[in-house]
Structure 1
Amino acid sequence: MAGRPKIFDEQEAIQKATEVFRNKGYDTASADELLNAMGIGKGSFYLAFKGGKQELYIKSIEQFSENFYKKLAEGMAKSGNGIEFIKKFFLMQADSSDCEKERGCYLGNSLVQLSEKDEDIKRISAKILRKLQQLFAEEIRKAQETGQIKNAEDPEILAWHLTNLWNGVHVTRRMENSPKILRSLIEMNLKMLE
């Protein structure tokens, strides 16, 4: 016997749980809140997520990060100018909604809050950052080869700087609510792409 078949869409359920985690945080999101949001019962939950809340959270981070990366990579590919796309991507961080400032970036929060507490989350976080860094490095390398940017620093290091900026902006944004200040900080860092 293979067991009972799933009677719910796992990706959709994880997406609904992600909203609970984003709003409440991992520690304060209760099992009841997660089950209600996902629209499933305890039996179905533990059949699908044998590791319970922690496994759900890890799958939530993985699904969220894959969607984030896919949108970013597709947007960059379609833009026709990867460096300008990167600049706009960062400058948009300064103008995020108040809700996002309070909640922060879901991925950024997972990196800061839980990566030191859990090896699986730490591994996933490192993978996310590495993929982001590689995406930036590829665009920087192309821009250096075509003369679009004059900075001759190692594209890998420049890309790590951008990845570090992405992390830092999400932490700073939670404390500093002035888009003007955030924009100035971001613009200062983006000068390396000239």
Structure 2
Amino acid sequence: MPKEILFDEEVVLRRATELFWTRGYNATSMDELTRITGLSRSSIYNSFGGKHALFMRCLRYYLGDQQRQLHELAGKVKPVVPRIRAAFQYAVEEILADRMRKGCMMVNTTTEMVNQDKDIAAVSAENMEQMEGIFANWISEGQAAREISTAFNPQMLARHLFNTYSGLKVSGKTRPDRKTLEDLVTVALSVLEGPGAS
């Protein structure tokens, strides 16, 4: 008979994600995890499989939330170029609101661990593919509606957008001022204009 779960998994994941995001995987101790989640070591091992397994759950939780925001935006803003601008503006506002300059959890994790951990490398590649897929679908939609230039194919533009989107989080850790971030967005999105766009 499976053991009854006596805690709110959503709350635990949210708290653990915030801790890992702030401190990084290697700098986060089990003592800190037990304190922030309210779970004992045995509960963490029994429920999640240990520190590494919990971290992987937290990373997917974080990435799922990031992608959910983009999908919600697609439902709210129908014209594609304003939708893309809104996504990048949301990222800028999120960066400016982050007083601790945490950056992007996925970018931080990739920098810290991608060459040491095959599970992290797999999630990083999967996230890149999924995010580029979202942007590529938007680009295809925008090109079909003649909102976006056809000078580059959707995959090329999607890679450019994903690279800029991730890079904003890095820039925000070192130069978190609005003008710098919005200048980066303006130049990055200028590639959407040109032949094929009306």
Which of the numbers 73, 76, 80 marks the counterpart of 2:74? 76
Give me the TM-score of the superposition, normalised by structure 1. Answer: 0.90
Three-state SS of the structure 2 residue aligned to 1:55 is helix
Instruction: Give SS of 1:21's match.
Output: helix
What SS does structure 2 have at the residue aligned with 1:117? coil
Task: Provide the residue aligned with 1:5 in structure 2.
Answer: 4
| 1:18, distance to aligned residue in structure 2 (A) | 0.6
Identity among equivalent pairs (%): 28
Shift of 1:156: 0.7
Provide the TM-score with structure 2 as the length reference.
0.88
Report deviation, 1:116: 2.0
Q: How many residues align?
A: 192
Name structure 2 gaps, 5 residues minimum. Answer: 194-198
CA distance in structure 2 between the aligned counterparts of 1:78 and 1:185, rounded to whole angstroms: 24
Q: How does 1:122-137 map to 2 (within 5 A)?
A: 122-137=121-136
Choose which of 80, 85, 91 in structure 2 pairs with 1:87. 85
User: Superposition RMSD on alpha carbons, in Å?
Assistant: 1.8
Q: More deviation in 85-94 or 20-29?
A: 85-94
* Stretches of structure 1 lacking an aligned partner (at least 5 in a row): none
User: Does structure 1 conserve the Cα–Cα contact (< 8 Å) formed by 2:80 and 2:147?
Assistant: no
Q: CA deviation at 1:77?
A: 2.2
Asked if the contact 2:16/2:58 (under 8 Å) is kept, the reply is: yes
User: Structure 1's 134 and 61: CA in aligned 2 closer, same or farther, altered over 3 A?
Assistant: same
- Report what 1:106 is aligned to: 105
Q: Helix, strand or coil for the counterpart of 1:97? A: helix
Alignment of 1:24-173 (within 5 A): 24-50=23-49, 52-95=50-93, 96-97=95-96, 99=98, 102-173=101-172
- Displacement after TM superposition at 1:154 (Å): 0.7
For residues 60 and 124 of structure 2, what CA distance do their matches in structure 1 show? 9
1:116 aligns to what SS in structure 2? coil
Cα distance in 2, alignment partners of residues 108 and 39 from structure 1: 28
Q: Secondary structure at the match of 1:20?
A: helix
C-alpha deviations, 1:71-123, integer Å up to 9, x for none? 21121122112321211221343343353562112222122222222110111
Question: Offset of 1:148 from its aligned partner?
Answer: 1.0
Offset of residue 3 of structure 1: 4.9
- SS state at 1:68 partner: helix
CA distance in structure 2 between the partners assigned to 1:173 and 1:163 by the alignment: 16
Distance verdict in 2 for CA 1:3–1:138, change over 3 Å: closer
